[in-house]
Chain A
Amino acid sequence: MTETQMMALLPTGLADVLPPDATFEAATLAQLMAAFAGYGYERIKPPLIEFEDGLLAGLGTAMASQTFRLMDPVSQRMMGVRADMTPQVARIASTRLKNVARPLRLSYSGDVLRVKGTQLRPERQFTQVGVEIIGTDRAQADAEVILMAIQSLRDLGVDGLSVDLAIPTLVPALCKEFKITGDAEIKMRLALDRKDAASITELAKNIGTNNAAMLSALLNAAGPAERTLTALHKMTFGPDAARERAILTDVANRVRAAAPDIQLTIDPVENRGFEYHSGVTFTFFARGVRGELGNGGRYLAENGTEHGEPATGLTLFMDTILRALPRPQAQERIYLCFGISESAADTLRGDGWITISGLEQSEDPEAEAQRLRCTHIFIDDKIKKLKRELEG
């Protein structure tokens, strides 16, 4: 390997974003943030690094194994680089913004860093965009966040959008009801996470045939919302599980009523990725796109010391969203020959042109314009479209 090649190599999961992708990402992000602002979500900007004990308290516990640590030479305390922004927002809401009227609507965007990528998302640094609505337990708040995400993603141009609702508190309620604990519960949760029908059947001897049959039916109920809800309402649940079912139904009905054409599915046993959630959760997918566009749900916003406040959050992943969008059109650029007046150039930029100024007199301005990837040239006080050079 040559020295230049060595310089180019980046650590696993980190990448340079180049033109035109960096521009496209920034524009997409700005459009999302503007959309959230339109719904009254105010932007906050937490720091990249915080003290470890604050960052990893409360909600942050789930990200402990994914967090990079470094030592603060000033305070001699351990610091962590954020691996997820939601815990930071929860911290801000419960401390500095605790006296602001509820419900508190906040939005944020920023990069996070993780110790390990996953097989599906090998990136260790990626951009999160999100909102949190804090201090309300109303189903309408869940619906607001879901509907806002649907609208914003559609406005970006995401095709074939699909929303999957889940309620990770339902299975624990059933476990309690069926008195499934310890090893059997862990095994069962694992099997449900993997939607592994065979393992549920196998567990029948530990958890009872009837209970296993009910859990299998629950697993098989995953699918289009209407079908799942019908199936869920045919099941006989104890009071806790029935309450979770009612909450899920409420949110699903609100989303369905406001967005009748959205592809809505329900997964009554989904739990992975929703370790700290306490109510309805949601995941966004787009047809033909690998991985999730974003997810979120109801949780208790707390920072480990204060009593938690009910909240609902949404996190979108810029990398997946960009994959779900059509490639950006190459932008038109106009070449300004050396010596053109500043006022003429200002007028062009005012009209929305991207101008590339010649820095010295050129013998063949059109060739120079082509070389600098311009699509137009400003020559003799006129805009002239350049013929596309046939490459190869």
Chain B
Amino acid sequence: MIRNEKLVLALPKGRILKEVMPLIRRAGIEPEPAFDDDKARQLRFTTNIPELDIIRVRAFDVATFVAFGAAHLGVAGNDVLLEFDYPEIYAPVDLNVGYCRLSVAEPAEMVGDDDPSTWSSVRVATKYPHLTSKHFAARGVQAECIKLNGAMELAPQLGLCSRIVDLVSSGDTLKANGLVEIERICEITSRLCVNRAAWKTRPDEVGSWIAKFGEAVDALAA
């Protein structure tokens, strides 16, 4: 029997973490010092709250940890949540950080001649094969997705495929690689996500964290 008596909050490594930490602290969570020490190899951290630990994992893994109940709470962008679409994850609070969008891009020189309404199948490099094929399928286009884990912008240059689906925030990376954003799939923000069974079996604890995060978002927005 798996018993995680302590609540576990999964946070994503990298860019989002910096934006999320003010909210975490505002919600009253202060991780142990090793959390902010870049040299520390630790992956699990205690906090000022005895019954809450933090783990730091890759953004995509936050969703997996939460879906399987290994972590009870997590912070993930809706790009990740939509890509997996785990029925066991709820996303009750929009944290209003990590703003960007998921878009289709192609080389600037293609844009003039390309008529998207005539596509029957496209080859796309992306980190989001599920979202991408769903998006194209909804328009009656078969998307052949090439899964990459980063540096999507290289794919068109090197002839891997002509289009990519990736996160865009300022658009600078696209520009630097001669790509143009031609279509927005969805807007992305980070969400507080919650494991379904954890919410149902520990409604008071989990419910109070949902409320605290909601208040923290309102407080920082004000």
A interface with B by C-beta (< 8 Å): 118-120, 160, 162, 164, 193-198, 201-202, 219-220, 222-224, 263, 265, 267, 272-273, 283, 285-292, 323-327
Contacts and interface: CB of A to CB of B under 8 A. Distances in A.
Nearest to B192: A197
Given A196-B78, A198-B189, A224-B203, A272 B87 contact: yes
Interface in B71-123: 78, 81, 86-94
B170 interface: no
B91 A224 contact: no
Interface residues of B, number: 31
Interface in B1-56: 1-5
B149 interface: no
Given A285-B197, A287-B201, A290-B68, A223 B207 contact: yes
A89 to B, nearest CB: 25
Given A120-B68, A288-B1, A290-B68, A194 B90 contact: yes
Interface in B183-202: 187, 189, 191, 194, 197, 199-202
The 9 closest A-B pairs by CB, nearest first: A198-B94, A195-B90, A288-B3, A287-B201, A162-B201, A164-B200, A285-B200, A223-B207, A196-B91
A289 B204 CA distance: 18
A118 B87 CA distance: 10
B71 to A, nearest CB: 12
Given A197-B93, A285-B197, A120 B202 contact: no
Contacts of A267: 200
Nearest to A286: B201
Nearest to A219: B92
B156 interface: no
Given A198-B191, A224-B207, A288-B2, A283 B81 contact: no
A326 B93 contact: no
Contacts of A201: 94
A342 B93 CA distance: 70
B69 interface: yes
A65 to B, nearest CB: 15
B94 A160 contact: no
Interface of B: 1-5, 67-69, 78, 81, 86-94, 187, 189, 191, 194, 197, 199-204, 207
Secondary structure dominating the interface of B: mixed
B92 A195 contact: yes
Contact of B91 (A194, A220, A292, A325): A194
B202 A287 contact: yes
Contact of B1 (A193, A196, A323): A323
A197 B2 contact: no
A285 to B, nearest CB: 5
A187 B184 CA distance: 17
A114 to B, nearest CB: 15
B188 to A, nearest CB: 10
Nearest to A201: B94
Given A119-B86, A291-B88, 10 more contacts: A119-B67, A120-B67, A120-B87, A162-B203, A195-B194, A198-B94, A224-B207, A286-B201, A290-B69, A323-B1
A349 B67 CA distance: 47
A222 B91 CA distance: 13
25 contacts: A118-B87, A119-B67, A120-B87, A195-B90, A195-B91, A195-B92, A195-B194, A196-B78, A196-B91, A196-B191, A197-B92, A198-B94, A220-B92, A224-B204, A224-B207, A265-B203, A287-B3, A287-B201, A288-B4, A289-B2, A289-B197, A290-B69, A323-B1, A325-B1, A326-B1
A220 B194 CA distance: 13
Contacts of B92: 195, 197, 219-220
Nearest to B85: A194
A273 B87 CA distance: 10
Nearest to B195: A290
A263 B91 contact: no
B201 A198 contact: no
Given A197-B94, A288-B2, A290-B2, A263 B203 contact: yes
A163 to B, nearest CB: 9
A319 to B, nearest CB: 13
Contacts of B89: 194
Contacts of A291: 88, 197
B181 to A, nearest CB: 20
A265 B3 CA distance: 21
A217 to B, nearest CB: 12
Nearest to A163: B200
